[in-house]
Amino acid sequence: MSGQVIEFFIIMWIVGALAFAPIGYFIFMYTKRSGRPFGETEPHGDSPSLVNDLANKLLATLRSLLNKQEVYRR
């Protein structure tokens, strides 16, 4: 009985260490590079994106369709 408890305790320590290793690495890198964990990165929204372009086209199409439907309702 006590052997199983000790075995379970050790296994849970290993699982916990593996689960929290990524956040530990992130904190280590964050403190190592003076608050820049991933080095120099671009500000959000400055780089062109195919997904953003497609989303903008889809929104424009939906808006034009809704506007046409509103004109026909009047």
Q: What is the pLDDT of residues 23-55, one digit of tens each?
A: 988 888 777 766 665 556 666 665 677 888 898
Region 2-8: what's the mean pLDDT?
92
3-state secondary structure of 37: coil
All residues at 6 or more sequence positions from 38 whose CB lies less than 8 Å from its CB, including other chains: 29
- Can you give the pTM of this predicted structure? 0.40
